[in-house]
Structure formats: structure tokens, C-alpha cells
Amino acid sequence: MMGSGYLTSPLLLIINTLFDLYVLLVVMRFVLQWLRADFYNLLSQFIVRATTPPLKPLRRIIPGFAGQDIAALLLAMLILLVKYLLIRSMGANIIDIGNAAAPIGSVGIFGLLVMAVAEIVNTFLNIFLFAILIAVILSWVSPGGYNPIIGLIQSIAEPVMRPIRRWIPPLGGLDLSPLFATLGIMVAKMLIIPPIVFIAMQL
């Protein structure tokens, strides 16, 4: 006889995937605006169109600050809060945030909001991490090639790698900045995410 988790596990997977994908789009929108990336890019336009409807009412309440779209970050937090409450209502008490176990079943709303901050930071760092990895792969597959998506990826990866090149110039024509940037982001995730989750556990 099939257990009660037979349908619950696939449903949890669907909820996690759909909510996380939309949060990724919202955080991507914030990152692209922060970096002043090309918003006429096809991928940028898709992100803008997909995230504008829920952002419009929030922007009437939450103004931007220093040119940054604070409403986008608030939207990401609210989406994650809904996700946590849905998952918790289905009996799941622990989720993974950047390889840190987050006990969503034992904290209050403020704790869940802090966990949402941890997940947004994790998403933010993952955007740069994967942009760097994709940029490296594309440099091997089609060096010198260009299309709008490649340009967008490079506009995300370059601000991270450029400062590293100032300290570690290419050795024998080999650019080591992606390696050090990747290591730096992975270490940052290990140092930043667990303390935020720990703070959330106290609330």
C-alpha cells in the first residue's frame, strides 16, 4: 500500500521548483538593474514582462532607494514566505538553503522572513556563480562569438572577475579570474548563509 508521501513528495517538488524559478526571475531583475545591464536584451525583456505585474502595486508602497528596486527584493521575500507556509502546511519541516538545513516548521513568521533573506542571498550568489561558469564554457565553445544572451551573461560575470584580474593577471595567457571568483562565491555562501539561518532559528 502506498504511503501518504506518495503524492506529497512530487507536489513539494513542483511547489519548490515553480516558486524558486519565479524568485530567480525577480532577483535576476534586481541584479540586471543594479548592474545596469541591457534591458532591451530579449532575455531581459522576458524577465521584465514576467515580473512586472506583481511589482506594479508594490512600487506604489515601496519606493526605490539609491536607484535600486527595493520592491523586487520585498516581492521575492513575500513569494518565499508563501512557499514556506505551503510547504509547512504539507508536513515538511526542514528545507535546504545553500546546503544549510533550515527548520521552517519550528519558527514564527519573522523567522521565516529571515530565512527568506538567506535564500535571496543564496540566489543572488548563485546568479553570479552560474553566470561565471556559463561564460567560461561559452569562451571554450565559441570564443569570440556573440549573441544577446552571451552579452547578458558576460555583463553579470565581468563585474566579479574584473577586480580579480587587477590582483591576479593572466598567467601565460590563462585567465585565472573565473577560478578565484568561483571559489570566492562558494566560500561566501558557506560563511554567509548558515549564520542567517541560525538567526532565523532564534525568532
pLDDT digits (tens, 9 = 90+) for 68-123: 889 999 999 999 999 999 999 988 889 999 989 999 988 999 999 999 999 999 99
- Spans of all domains in the chain: 5-201
Q: Give the pLDDT of residue 59.
A: 87
DSSP per-residue string spanning 172-189? TTB--HHHHHHHHHHHHH
pLDDT surpassing 50 at residue 127: yes
pLDDT surpassing 70 at residue 37: yes
Mean pLDDT of the chain: 88
Q: Would you place residue 137 in the very low, low, confident or very high pLDDT band (cuts 50, 70, 90)?
A: confident
Q: Give the pLDDT of residue 5.
A: 56
CB 131 within 8 A of CB 158: no
Number of Cα atoms under 13 Å in the Cβ half of residue 53:
4
pLDDT surpassing 60 at residue 166: yes
What does pTM read for this prediction?
0.89
